[in-house]
A and B are shown apart, each in its own frame.
Chain A
Amino acid sequence: MAELTAVAAGPLAGGLPTFKGRPGWEFTDISALDVSAYELMPAAPAALGTPTPSGSSLWELPASELPDGVSVRFEDETTVVSVGAGTVLAAPLALNVIVPEGRLYNQRTRVVLEEGAQAEVWEQLLSDGDCLLNLSTELVLGDGASLRYVCGQGLAEQAWIFGAQHATVGRDARLDWVALGFGSRSGHVLMQTRLTGEGAEARVTGAYATHGGQHIDFDTTQEHAAANTTSDLAFRGVLTDRSSAVWKGNIIVDPGAQKTDAFQDSRNLLLSKRAHADSIPGLEIQANDVRCTHAAAVAQVDPEQLFYLRAHGMPEADAKRLVIEGFLAALVERFEPGPVREILGAALERRLQLILG
């Protein structure tokens, strides 16, 4: 496994598990992964804006001119987006990664916002077919900075994804992180947020929709390392056929991080007998003047909602579809009306259309 970087090799540090039940890997079986079947591809900068292979993209955002204070460089095999102090990048910056079939690709992205900077970065991960994408992302927010980072994983459904993504949020900074898990056959994505300065806030939103034999694995951490910090995590998934998902999420409150307000909500909608979901929320709290709550639920299509719609004349199939769409759309309502709602809403709708037929 020499090609995997140390960061992404975290979960695999003990070696490839020999059977599904091995402790630590009870939820994601990667015994079918054959790393040697993929050819290592040299690192290259992520493409800005479109083009993308038509039909498989999650969204299409044009490349826009970068104002002074914003730069996108390629150094140390990493795509580095820097936004200088006080600079406001109004238009979303679109990064596209397209991995050719049969390749192993290490994508490293680093987004750095200096004091008071504001920006929006949308990173799209696609592939031409079966591949192994090893993703390493770093988000660094200086004091008072504000970043929206949307990471859409839309790889082909035979591909493997291993990701290690870390965010550090400074004093009074705000992070709005969105993750979409649509493609890939299996893998493991780590999403860690660390609130290091007083007044830091993070909102993490995750949506996934799977079918066939897909398996999605998200491992999130909200770490409160300073007082008066807030985090709000909401993950929702829709699963059909014999697909499965595991979400593991930890809220960690360090000693002294008083007045922390941390929230975590995970919900799954299983639409077939063979779908399977695991939720492992967790709390490790070492400060007492805090408010920390987590909730996890798995349910079927809400019969009350269904009844309501049918009583208003809607045929059952349509009513069911509407309720399922509403389930994921509830996530979209976390954002302000405007382009972000539209783009995310459209991406979710298209994905649901694909898996529900």
Chain B
Amino acid sequence: MATTAPRIDADELQEAQVEQLTENEQLATINADYDERYGFHDAENYLYKAPKGINREIVEKISEFKSEPQWMRDFRLKALEYFFAKPQPTWGSPMLQEVDYDDIHYFVRASERAERSWDDVPEDVKNTFDRLGIPEAERKFLSGVGAQYESEVVYHQINQELVAKGVIFTDMDTALREHEELVREYFATIIPPNDNKLAALNSSVWSGGSFVYVPKGVHVEMPLQAYFRINTESMGQFERTLIIADEGSYVHYVEGCTAPTYSSASLHSAVVELIAKPGARIRYTTVQNWSANVFNLVTKRAVAYEDATVEWVDCNLGSKLTMKYPSVYLLGERAHGEILSIAFAGRGQHQDAGGKIIHVAPNTTSNIFAKSISKDGGRGSYRGLLEIAKGAHGSRSKVVCDALLLDETSRSDTYPTIRISEDDVNVGHEATVSKVGEDQLFYLMSHGIPEDEASKLIVNGFIEPITKELPMEYAVEMNRLIELQMEGSIG
């Protein structure tokens, strides 16, 4: 799947910009394959590109560039020591051993600052996002948008009504400057820098990402959206996101990620911390479509207090290796955690995804619903933890993992762990691995539907319970992308 796209020169970019695509045409272009749509990359006109490798100097330079307070600089340097001290994890996927930390650029600055108006965003960066259809979506569907290109956020906009209500949605760098005390109170309390090697790495070189604060009782009706794009070869992207939903508030945050198709590896290692205070609800949706050379190793964790809810909707389509287990700690009574996960593993890919839910308080509930599809030798793994700690009596949880293997060479693994320390609970876990049912196929074909269409319908039906939770344009895109993958396998 990994092919090198031809270099695109400035003239071609200009031409692309001139085309004014209507909405229908945009939807139709989703049908094009990945290389054409995302696989392009721009000539690099950067303000600064760090040399490869990681060391104290680079970390200090990053902190300097951002004019950070001393405590953040100290935090980064301490995290760097943890990173060096920890060995590369040996569980998960053997592909982890291929990550070469010395062969990555840890910081690239594309523009001076985050712009508020699309017109002010540097030309080529704007073109990239135009091609991806972002400003269009923003005008129609969203409460706010952040766009990160390489290491930093280049565009950020938030609906002014929300600002008036006290909602904060900025990139993390800006948040540290303008809301330092708020950030300091919560930063790294959910995922300490020493939590694991990749969290330590992110803690030392983090750049960009989002900061969201929703005040008490405020409901942000339309989603807040962030786009992440890696452009440079051998680039590492380390965004850091922190979302705090104060009592009784609601917010839905959506992120999408892509990168050009290169043959050398890129590394994406994000850290996302969510805090849902009593009565609050946070939904965090990710559609990950990194190209097949990206190592996607992410730590995402949430805490939910009394009567609060956190929902992770996690879709993994791209990357060479993804290891990601969004988790929810149910710390207050009647809190609820939900993880909906789709993973599609094609040729050469390993999606090692899943989720963790830890019931700490009594009468808490949770659901994990994971679907995975493997084809052309791809490997889809579900890895999860469901834990009911002592004291979490009255808790109920259901985990369902289903996997569809589309051919003989593909692989599916399921590694759930269930740990129960309370007697008054109800916990169920089921997992099934199968192929496209012959009965179903036969039924559809006997109604005049050709075999490849029928297979696509069945696969769509397989993931439908989760795709219906996605915002419309993502759901449409997801279905198209999966159809595309399917066409490869049946043709």
Contact = CB atoms under 8 A, between A and B. Distances in A.
B429 interface: yes
B423 A293 contact: no
Given A287-B408, A288-B408, A299-B427, A282 B432 contact: no
A253 to B, nearest CB: 8
Given A295-B429, A298-B426, 14 more contacts: A277-B419, A282-B415, A283-B431, A283-B433, A284-B413, A286-B411, A287-B405, A288-B405, A290-B434, A292-B432, A293-B432, A295-B430, A298-B420, A300-B426
Contacts of B429: 279, 281, 294-297
Nearest to B432: A293
Interface stretch (A33-41, A267-275, A315-323): A267-275
A285 interface: yes
Contact of B414 (A272, A279, A282, A288): A282
Interface string A320-347: 0000000000000000000000000000
Interface residues of B, number: 35
Interface in B307-329: none
B413 A282 contact: yes
A326 to B, nearest CB: 17
Contact of B408 (A255, A277, A293): A255
A280 interface: yes
A276 B420 contact: yes
Nearest to A268: B420
Contacts of A298: 388, 418, 420, 425-427
12 contacts: A276-B420, A277-B420, A278-B417, A281-B414, A282-B416, A285-B411, A287-B405, A291-B434, A292-B434, A294-B414, A295-B431, A300-B425
A150 B120 CA distance: 77
Given A298-B427, A300-B425, A255 B435 contact: no
Given A277-B420, A291-B434, A283 B412 contact: yes
Interface in B378-419: 388, 390, 393, 403, 405-419
B420 A278 contact: yes
Interface residues of A, number: 35
B123 interface: no
A119 to B, nearest CB: 34
A171 B314 CA distance: 43
A18 to B, nearest CB: 18
Nearest to A240: B423
A247 B360 CA distance: 22
Contacts of B427: 296-299
B195 interface: no
Nearest to B423: A270
A296 B418 contact: yes
A299 B431 contact: no
A283 B428 CA distance: 17
B264 interface: no
Nearest to A287: B408
Interface in A222-261: 255-256, 258
A111 B97 CA distance: 42
A289 interface: yes
Nearest to A277: B420
Nearest to A269: B423
The 3 A-B residue pairs whose C-beta atoms are closest, nearest first, are A288-B405, A270-B423, A283-B414
Nearest to A292: B433
B424 interface: yes
Contacts of B424: 300
A295 B415 CA distance: 12
A289 B408 CA distance: 8
A293 B426 CA distance: 20
B428 A270 contact: no
Contacts of B403: 283, 285
B259 to A, nearest CB: 29
B186 to A, nearest CB: 27
A279 B418 CA distance: 5
Contacts of B452: none
Nearest to B401: A283
Nearest to A270: B423
A289 B421 CA distance: 38
Interface string B71-104: 0000000000000000000000000000000000
A67 B417 CA distance: 47
A288 B435 contact: yes
A288 B407 contact: yes
Contacts of A285: 403, 405, 411-413, 433
B423 A272 contact: yes
A132 to B, nearest CB: 27
Given A293-B431, A294-B431, A299 B417 contact: no
From B411, B423, B424, B435, residue with most partner A Cβ within 10 Å = B423
Contacts of B415: 280, 282
B42 interface: no
A270 B420 contact: yes
Contacts of B434: 290-292
A256 B408 CA distance: 7
Nearest to B391: A273
B138 interface: no
B422 interface: yes
Nearest to A256: B408
B416 A271 contact: no
Contacts of A292: 432-434
Contacts of A291: 432-434
Contacts of A270: 420, 422-423, 425
